[in-house]
């Protein structure tokens, strides 16, 4: 029996604020706008002092006093938010001066730039930090956040002095624990308020050790059919269906092409086109980041210590069509995907991430090893050798896993994904009946009510460029 061990961990919950009344939306913006102004004003005065050769570093720090800032912003923002923003400014400048010292000491090659303004396209970026005593979050039937505001802002919106602004929230709190400094951001293009809440909790590390699965390895396969499929050496699997997401991505792409065709000669872009590019990217990044967070949670639950992510580069040159390349580069943004996997899994969860080529992993039957008489029809993989039938991207992740762990890990049962046989069913074996399937609904990845079995039948007409036999 392993000794009980605990360690402190910090993770981030992300959720959406969904004010139903318009006045609450306006009130939130009237909170975020001065918060952004505060940071920019401090930045302005410190930059002025910094670029003035006559002034010392001390002058930079005192270019504008905290009293001046508090007098101006506290009535709107309240004391807690005002002070937290001032702390944040100081952290930023501290970081800059540290880099500058490193540069002067020769520990750094490029000279760092002083902190800049919080702006995007000429407008202030509407965001703030909220000290942990200035908000409460409650999850339940009526999930909500309550924010402390300054007295003037409360008065303006008729909020009693002893109450806070209450706003419904929506999301999937992944971590429970002590909430830290909350970050609140308004996205003008999607008109949405997003909160990032770091949470600190005691993590019991006994469980993973006690289960004897210290060497659990997971393989993550990014399939060209808009799926991410995962298989682990202790028999867990999951598949993420990104098709609705891609469809939306593609609609924006089409709209961009249409607008581009209407541009006057000599012009290559317009504000609207730029905006659409931006929206398309944000939506994708949001879903991708949420996917990686979801994977991180699953991997912790399953005791995964090492993850292999498929590297597509060498596969593409041989087999991939232009359309698939476009999908991989733009939609999956594969480079970004792998980078975020490293940042979140490696950096935050201590799970080792490796990249490995996954060439030819989906043209072999995972059950009998047949490579010739196999085919795929849409999402369905079929083997003529043994009659096996399964989800083709899940097959890809199974084979990918077998390849990367060959000789390194012992599968418990000969096959990693052994599941109880499905007794009441005739016909070809459908092995991926039990694999949980998740779909993006704009806010989070949700588990769908039914299994993977129902899908392929009505999707099988969508073959696209991926004819059977062609690798992925
Ligand atoms: Zn077979």
pLDDT in tens, 285-327: 889 999 999 999 899 888 899 999 987 654 444 444 555 656 6
Query: pLDDT of 216-234, one tens digit each?
Result: 899 998 876 678 999 998 8
Which residue has better confidence, 201 or 468?
201
Rounded alpha-carbon distances, angstroms, from residue 51 to 41, 86, 116: 15, 21, 13
Domain range spanning residue 145?
20-165
Q: Give the percent of the chain with pLDDT over 90.
A: 32
How far away, in angstroms, is 415 Cα from ligand 1 center?
A: 13
Whether residue 185 is contained in a domain is answered as no
Q: How far is the CA of 389 from the centre of ligand 1 (A)?
A: 8
Give the separation between CA 52 and CA 38, rounded to whole angstroms: 22
Average pLDDT of the residues of the chain: 80
- Residues around ligand 1, an ion, CB closer than 5 A: 365, 367-368, 370, 383, 385-386, 388
How many helices (H) and strands (E) in the chain?
Answer: 13, 20
Residues 305 and 367 in one domain: yes
Contacts of 50 (CB under 8 A, 6+ apart): 60, 114
Q: Say yes or no: 144 and 284 in one domain.
A: no
Q: Count of domains in the chain?
A: 2
pLDDT value for 211:
45
Longest CA–CA span in the chain (Å) reads 86
368 CA distance to ligand 1 middle (Å) = 4
Distance (Å) from CA 394 to ligand 1 centroid: 15
**Residue 337 scores a pLDDT above 60:** yes
Least confident residue range of 102-111, 225-234, 275-284, 451-460: 451-460
The SS3 call for residue 395 is helix
The residue written with tokens 């704009």 in the block is: 442
pLDDT at 186 over 90: yes
Single out the residue in 147, 165, 183 at which a domain terminates: 165
In a domain, 324, yes or no: yes
pLDDT for 204 equals: 57
Instruction: Tell me: do 61 and 149 sit in the same domain.
Output: yes
469 CA from centroid of ligand 1 (Å): 14
Arithmetic mean of pLDDT, 31-35:
95
Question: What pLDDT, on a 0 to 100 scale, did the predictor assign at position 430?
Answer: 59
- CA atoms within a 13 Å half-sphere pointing along the CA-CB vector of 253: 13
Same domain, residue pair 349 and 422: yes
- Give the residue, 418 or 208, on which the prediction is more confident: 208
Quote the ligand 1 centre to 439 CA distance (angstroms).
29
For residue 381, the CA-to-ligand 1 centroid distance in Å is 10
469 domain residue, yes or no: no
pLDDT band at 245 (very low <50, low <70, confident <90, very high): confident
Residues 340 and 425 in one domain: yes
**One domain, residues 223 and 150:** no
Residue 329 lies in a domain: yes
CA distance 289 to 298: 14
Indicate whether 171 belongs to any domain. Answer: no
- CA distances (Å), origin 264, targets 252, 260, 261, 270: 21, 9, 9, 10
DSSP classification of residue 345: I
Where is pLDDT greater, at 192 or 180? 192
Answer whether residue 401 shows pLDDT above 60.
yes
pLDDT of the residue at 464? 32
Query: Is the pLDDT reported for residue 428 higher than 50?
Result: no
Q: 343 and 268 share a domain?
A: yes
Instruction: Report if residue 183 sits inside a domain.
Output: no
d(CA 88, CA 129): 8
The answer to whether the CB of 119 falls within 8 A of the CB of 125 is yes
Tell whether 154 and 220 lie within a shared domain: no
Tell me the CA–centroid distance for residue 430 and ligand 1, in Å. 12
What is the model's pLDDT at position 202? 67
Residue whose token pair is 């008729």 = 158
454 CA → ligand 1 middle, Å: 21
Residue 315 sits in the same domain as residue 438: yes
Tell me, what's the pLDDT at 440? 86
Q: Please check whether residue 74 lies inside any domain of the structure.
A: yes
374 CA → ligand 1 middle, Å: 8
Are 152 and 227 members of one domain? Answer: no
How does pLDDT run across 442-471, given as a tens digit for each residue? 788 888 755 444 443 333 333 333 333 333
Question: Of the ranges 81-90, 271-280, 402-411, which one carries the lowest mean pLDDT score?
Answer: 402-411
Residue 176 inside a domain? The answer is no
Write down the pLDDT at residue 360: 63
pLDDT in the model for residue 166: 96
Q: DSSP readout, 103-156?
A: HHTTS-SSPPPPP---EETTEE--EEEE-GGGEEEE-STT-EEEE---HHHHHH
Please state the φ and ψ torsions of residue 391, each to the nearest 5 degrees: -80, 125
Phi then psi dihedrals of residue 150, to 5 deg: -70, 160
pLDDT at residue 142 greater than cutoff 60: yes
Q: Which two tokens stand for residue 375?
A: 């085919």
Q: Do 160 and 220 belong together in one domain?
A: no
CA of 432 to the centre of ligand 1 (A): 14
Give residue 317's pLDDT: 47
State the pLDDT confidence band at 70, using cuts at 50, 70 and 90: very high
CA 254 to CA 248: how far, in whole Å? 10
Same domain, 370 and 277: yes
Instruction: State how far the Cα of 191 lies from the Cα of 264, in Å rounded to an integer.
Output: 30
Q: pLDDT: is 20 or 312 the higher one?
A: 20
Ligand 1 centroid, distance to 384 Cα (angstroms): 6
């Amino acid at each position: 029996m392993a000794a009980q061990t605990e360690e402190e961990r910090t993770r981030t919950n992300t959720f959406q604020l969904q004010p139903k009344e318009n006045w609450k939306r306006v009130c939130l913006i009237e909170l975020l706008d001065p918060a952004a102004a505060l940071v920019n004003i401090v930045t302005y005065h410190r930059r002025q002092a910094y670029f003035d050769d006559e002034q010392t570093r001390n002058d930079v720090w005192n270019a504008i006093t905290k009293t001046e800032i508090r007098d101006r912003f506290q009535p709107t923002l309240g004391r807690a938010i005002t002070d937290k923003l001032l702390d944040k400014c100081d952290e930023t400048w501290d970081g800059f001066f540290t880099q500058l010292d490193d540069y002067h000491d020769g520990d750094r090659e490029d000279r760092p730039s002083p902190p800049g303004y919080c702006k995007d396209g000429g407008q202030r970026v509407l965001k703030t930090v909220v000290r942990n005593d200035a908000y409460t979050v409650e999850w339940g039937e009526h999930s909500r956040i309550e924010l402390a505001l300054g007295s003037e802002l409360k008065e303006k919106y008729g909020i009693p002095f002893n109450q806070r602004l209450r706003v419904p929230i929506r999301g999937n709190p992944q971590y429970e624990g002590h909430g830290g400094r909350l970050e609140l951001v308004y996205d003008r293009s999607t008109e949405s308020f997003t909160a990032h809440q770091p949470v600190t909790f005691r993590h019991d590390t006994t469980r993973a050790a006690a289960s004897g699965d210290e060497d659990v390895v997971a393989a993550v396969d990014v399939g060209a059919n808009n799926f991410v499929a995962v298989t682990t050496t202790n028999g867990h699997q999951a598949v993420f269906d990104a098709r609705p997401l891609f469809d939306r991505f593609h609609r924006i792409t089409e709209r961009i092409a249409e607008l581009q065709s209407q541009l006057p000669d000599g012009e290559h872009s317009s504000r609207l086109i730029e905006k659409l590019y931006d929206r398309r990217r944000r939506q994708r990044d949001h879903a991708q980041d949420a996917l990686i967070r979801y994977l991180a949670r699953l991997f912790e639950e399953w005791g995964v210590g090492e993850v292999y992510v498929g590297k597509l580069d060498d596969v593409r040159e041989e087999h991939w069509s232009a359309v698939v390349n476009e999908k991989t580069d733009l939609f999956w943004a594969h480079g970004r995907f792998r980078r975020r996997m490293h940042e979140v899994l490696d950096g935050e969860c201590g799970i080792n991430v490796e990249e490995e080529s996954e060439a030819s992993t989906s043209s072999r039957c995972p059950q009998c090893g047949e490579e010739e008489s196999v085919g795929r029809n849409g999402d369905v993989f079929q083997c003529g050798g043994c009659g096996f039938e399964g989800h083709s991207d899940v097959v890809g992740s199974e084979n990918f896993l077998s390849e990367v762990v060959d000789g390194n890990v012992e599968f418990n049962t000969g096959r990693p994904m052994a599941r109880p046989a499905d007794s009441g069913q005739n016909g070809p074996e459908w092995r991926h009946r039990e694999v949980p399937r998740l779909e993006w609904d704009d806010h989070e990845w949700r588990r769908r009510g039914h299994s993977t079995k129902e899908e392929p039948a009505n999707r099988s007409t969508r073959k696209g460029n991926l004819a059977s036999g062609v690798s992925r």
